Structure 1
Amino acid sequence: MAIEFSKKLTAHETAIPGVVVYDLPVHGDNRGWFKENWQREKMMALGLPDFRPVQNNVSFNEKAGTTRGIHAEPWDKFVSVATGRIFGAWVDLREGPTFGAVFTTELDPSQAIFIPRGVGNAFQTLEDNTAYTYLVNDHWSADAQSQYTFLNLADESAAVRWPIPLERAELSDKDRAHPRLADVVPMPPRKILVVGADGQLGKALRAEYDGEASVEFVGRGEFDITRQEAFAAYNWKNYSAIINAAAYTAVDAAETREGRAAAWANNVTAVSFLARTAVEHDLTLVHISSDYVFDGARHAHDESEGFSPLGVYGQTKAAGDAVVSVVPKHYIVRTSWVIGDGNNFVRTMGSLAVRGIKPSVVNDQIGRLSFTVDIAAGIRHLLESGADYGTYNLSNDGDAQSWADIAGDVYELVGEPRAAVTGVSTEEYFKGKDVAPRPPHSILDLTKIKESGFVPRPAREALEEYLGQRVMAE
C-alpha cells in the first residue's frame, strides 16, 4: 500500500473520548519520504494536549501478523508507524461510562493517533518489517508496568475483528493469558489532592466531593506543605490537580513578628513548593486568593487590577498569587469575606442575636460574603468545565453590603430586630487597638466567572440557607 503524500495535518475524533487520529503531512520524492512525526506547536493548535513527552520507544516487528496488546498504561501516548502498516485496536479501560468502548483503524506512516492514559493499545502488523513508535510522557520502569491494565486480545465483548485471525497470528504467551473484560479492574483516574482539608473551605470541598474516590484530602497533620521534604512522600504521577485550601488567615496577628513569619511561611514559601510540584509534574494548581491583595480604593475589583495590599496578610497573599501565576495550569480563585463551617462573622452575629446582645458593627467596609459551599462548587466547575486557566473572582452575588448590613440581616433571620445593630466607622470600632488595615471596598466583579458558565447564588439566599442549617445559640 503506497503512502499518501502531502496530506494536510488534520485531527479526527473517535468514539473513545480523548482518542484522536491525526493525518500527517508526508513529503516524498525519488529518494524516499520525510514527515514531521511530532510537531508540538502545530498539533497543539489542532487541540492535542501538551502532554510533555519524555521517552520515545520503537517496536520492530519482522513478520506480518505480529499482534501485541491489549495494554493500557498509566501515561499518555502518541503512536505512529515509522515504516510498514498496521491494524490498530484501542479499548477504553478507564473507570467511567465509556469503559469497554472500542475503536479500530489502519495506520500507515502518514497517520498517528493520540491515546490517553488508561486506554488499551493493541496492533497487528499487516506488512513485514513494520516499526511501531510510541512517544510517551512518563519513563518506563518495572514498577510502572505493575500499574498496567490488560485485556485479552480475543475478548468477546470488545469483539475486535483482527484482519489476520488470532489463531494464525504471532502472539506472546503473556498476551494470550490476559483477562476478559468482565474480569478487568478499570484504571482509576488520576486524583485531585486537597491540602488544608480541615479548614472552612476544606470542609466544604469534602462535602462537594463526598464519596468520590478520585479526590484525596489531607490536613496539616498529614501533609505539612511548609516543609519541602514532605512533598517527597507523594507519587505525583498519580495526581492531576492540587487544590490549595491551606492558608494563614490571622489578619491582625500577621502584623506581629511571629505572625509575619508564619504568614510568609504558609502563604508564600509553601505555595512556592506547591507551584514547583505542579510545574514539574504537569498538574493543575488551584489556589485561593483574597480581596486583601487590594487597597480597596476602587469601588469594585476585576481580575486585571494590580496588587496594592495594605498589610502583611495582603502582601503575603499577593506574593502567593504571583508565584502561582507562573504555573502553566493554574486557577487563582479570589474570594472575600469567607463564611463556612467554623468560627466566622455570621456565626458570631447569630450567637449575639439569640443572646439579646446589641453589637456595634463596622459600616464603612463594603463587600459581599463568600460562602465556602459556593466556592467549592465554583472550584469544581473550573476543574471540570475546561475553563481557561487564570484568575477568577468568586464571591456570592447580589447587592454589596457593609458588615453592619449583614449583621442586620442575620438578626432579622433569627427573629431579632435590625435596630439592635449599631453601625460605626472602622476608625471608631478599632480605636486604641493594634490591628491590620482593612480595604474599604472588597466588591469583586463576577463577570469572568459567570462567562465561564458558573453563576454564584445571591449572598442573601446563601445566608438564609446557612442560618437554617445551624443552631446559633451556644
Structure 2
Amino acid sequence: MVDVGKALARRETAIPGLVIFDLPVHGDNRGWFKENWQREKMLAAGLEDFGPVQNNISFNDAVGTTRGIHAEPWDKFVSVATGRIFGAWVDLREGPTFGAVVTAELDASTAIFVPRGVGNSYQTLEPNTAYVYLVNDHWSPSATYSFLNLADETAAIAWPIPLADVEISPKDLAHPRLADVTPIPRRKTLVLGANGQLGRALRQRFADAAWAEFATRDDLDLTSDELASARRWRDYDTIINAAAYTAVDKAETPEGRVAAWEANATAVAALARIATANGITLVHVSSDYVFDGTKQNAYTETDPFAPLGVYGQSKAAGDAIVATVPRHYVIRTSWVIGDGNNFVRTMASLAGRGIDPAVVDDQVGRLTFTDTIADAIAHLLETGATYGTYNVTNGGDAASWFDIAREVFRLTGNDPERVRPVSTAEYFADATAAVAPRPANSVLDLTAIQASGFTPARVEDALVRYLGSF
C-alpha cells in the first residue's frame, strides 16, 4: 500500500551524499499520482542539480529478485513506480567511509539519491515491481566501475529473503568481497596554465593530491575542435583555469589583440561549454583590468565592467561567459606576484645592482601573491562556498607601485629614497611601442571572501615572506 499524503522532505543517511526523499503521493479511488522528479522542488529540498541524461526502468516479475551491488561513476536518483523493494547501498568510494552500509525500504512514496561511487542493490518485496532510476551519464567502456558481492561478510547486509532462496544472476554472485574491491576514485581536478606563476603555485598547493592533474597549452589545446573528446570529462569535478593572455601592452597590437581574445574569451567559452555539459565546477581567474579605475573606493564583485584596453575587455568577456556556468567561481585578482618575473623581483634586482628606478605613484592597489590565490581557491572548493565571483588579493593597506618599490628597497637593506616617483603619463611619455591604459584604482573589496571564512594574509607580511624566499 503506497503511503499517501507525505510532504516532500529529505533524510540524510550515514553515507555522505546518499539522501532519502519522501515524495508526496496524491490518491483517490482511481489510484494515485506523484511527481517522481520535479527539478525545481528537488533543488529547493536540497538535492544538487545533478543533470540527469537518461531514465532507466528495471521490471521484476517475482518477489525476491535481487540485483547488485554495482557502483558506477555517475549519480542516480532511484524510485519505485510499482511494488516495493529492500535497498542496500554500500560506499565504494575512496575515503574514510569506504564500506559504510545503509539499508531502507522504498515504495512509490520514497526515493533515494545515490552519489557517484556508492554501490547500489535491491531485493523486491512485491511482485511486478518497477524500479526506476535517472542517471547523469551514459555507460562507457572507458569508465571505472566497482562491484561488491551481495553476500559480503563485512557489509553483512540483512537481506529480508535469504540469498539462497532468491533469483540472482551468476554475474552478481561472482562479484568480489570488500577486501578485493577496487574503490571508485574521486573525480579529478584539472589545472590549466600549470607552468605560469599561478599555475606553479597551484602545483605546489595540490602536489600531494592524486586526483589533481596539471596541463599546459601543449598538453591541451582549448581552441581545438576536438576538445569535447580530449578527456572523459565526466571524470572531472573541477577545472581551474589559470591560463590567460596577460601581455597587456602587446594586447593593443593587431596580433596581440587576436591572441588576447583567443585565450581570454574564445578558450574560456569552450571551457564553459565543457563544464556546463558535464557538471564540472569551473574556477576562472580574473583581473582588476575589467574596471576603469575611476571609482573612489574599493571595487566590489558586483560593480559593472568598464575595461579601458583590449586585455581588460577580453577578460571581462571571459568573466561574463563563466558566469553562465551553473557551478563557477570567478577569482578576481590584482597585481599578481609569484614564481617568475614580476615587479617585486625586478625592484629587488634593481636595488641589488645599484640602479635607482622611477616608479609610477598614481596607480593604487594591493599585491596578490600566488600562494594566497591558490589557498583561496582551495578554500572555496573544500568548503563548498556559494558559487559566484570573489575578489582575492592580500589584505592590509592599499599602496602605489612607488610605495611598494620603496618597501622592497627597505626590506632588502637598501635606501628607499633611491626610488623616484613619476606619473603614469611621464613614465610612458617616450614609449615607442603600444601601451595599454592602466586603471588608476585597482583596490578590490575583500568582504565576500572574508565572509566565506578565508582571510588573506596582509600584504606587508606576505611581502616579507616572499623576499625571504629568494
Percent sequence identity is 66
Deviates more, 1:415-424 or 1:64-73: 415-424
- Please state if 1:223 is matched with 2:230: no
- Post-superposition offset of 1:104: 0.5
- Post-superposition offset of 1:167: 1.5
Alpha carbons 1:79, 1:115 under 8 Å: kept: yes
Alpha carbons 1:227, 1:270 under 8 Å: kept: no
Deviates more, 1:338-347 or 1:426-435: 426-435
- Size of the alignment, in residue pairs? 467
User: Which residue is equivalent to 2:380?
Assistant: 382
* Structure 2 residues not aligned, in runs of 5+: none
- Post-superposition offset of 1:233: 1.5
Amino acid at match of 1:163: P
The Cα offsets for residues 13-34 of structure 1, whole Å up to 9 and x where unpaired, read as: 0000001101111111222111
CA distance in 2, matches of 1:432, 1:356: 23
User: Which residue is equivalent to 2:467?
Assistant: 467
User: Which residue is equivalent to 1:119?
Assistant: 118
- Please state if 1:332 is matched with 2:330: yes
CA distance in 1, matches of 2:136, 2:436: 47
Q: Indicate which of 383, 386, 393 corresponds to 2:391.
A: 393
- Please state if 1:133 is matched with 2:132: yes
- Post-superposition offset of 1:262: 0.9
The Cα offsets for residues 173-225 of structure 1, whole Å up to 9 and x where unpaired, read as: 11111111111111001111111111011101101101212111100111122
- Please state if 1:294 is matched with 2:291: yes
Provide the aligned C-alpha RMSD in A.
1.2
- Please state if 1:177 is matched with 2:174: yes
CA distance in 2, matches of 1:49, 1:216: 25
CA distance in 2, matches of 1:225, 1:464: 37
TM-score, normalization: structure 2?
Answer: 0.97
Alpha carbons 1:225, 1:231 under 8 Å: kept: no
CA distance in 2, matches of 1:223, 1:109: 47
The Cα offsets for residues 137-194 of structure 1, whole Å up to 9 and x where unpaired, read as: 11235x26x6221011111111111111111221111111111111111100111111
Amino acid at match of 2:334: S
Amino acid at match of 1:203: R
User: Which residue is equivalent to 1:194?
Assistant: 191
The Cα offsets for residues 86-110 of structure 1, whole Å up to 9 and x where unpaired, read as: 1110000011111111101111111
* Structure 1 residues not aligned, in runs of 5+: none
User: Which residue is equivalent to 1:257?
Assistant: 254
Amino acid at match of 2:154: S
CA distance in 2, matches of 1:251, 1:231: 30
- Please state if 1:110 is matched with 2:109: yes
Alignment of 1:199-210 (within 5 A): 199-210=196-207
CA distance in 1, matches of 2:166, 2:445: 64
Alpha carbons 1:83, 1:129 under 8 Å: kept: yes
**SS class of match (1:465):** helix
- Post-superposition offset of 1:462: 1.1
CA distance in 2, matches of 1:342, 1:115: 45
Amino acid at match of 1:78: F
- Please state if 1:11 is matched with 2:10: yes
- Post-superposition offset of 1:231: 4.1
**SS class of match (1:213):** coil
Amino acid at match of 1:75: W
Amino acid at match of 2:372: D
User: Which residue is equivalent to 2:367?
Assistant: 369
The Cα offsets for residues 451-473 of structure 1, whole Å up to 9 and x where unpaired, read as: 11111110111111111111xxx
User: Which residue is equivalent to 1:456?
Assistant: 456
User: Which residue is equivalent to 2:425?
Assistant: 427
User: Which residue is equivalent to 1:307?
Assistant: 305
User: Which residue is equivalent to 2:60?
Assistant: 61
CA distance in 2, matches of 1:25, 1:255: 60
User: Which residue is equivalent to 1:101?
Assistant: 100
**SS class of match (1:349):** helix
**SS class of match (1:17):** coil
User: Which residue is equivalent to 1:88?
Assistant: 87
Alpha carbons 1:370, 1:396 under 8 Å: kept: yes
**SS class of match (2:263):** helix
CA distance in 2, matches of 1:232, 1:131: 35
CA distance in 2, matches of 1:273, 1:4: 47
**SS class of match (1:443):** coil
- Post-superposition offset of 1:447: 0.4
- Please state if 1:404 is matched with 2:395: no
User: Which residue is equivalent to 2:236?
Assistant: 239
CA distance in 2, matches of 1:415, 1:182: 61
- Post-superposition offset of 1:226: 2.9
- Please state if 1:163 is matched with 2:153: no
- Post-superposition offset of 1:58: 1.1
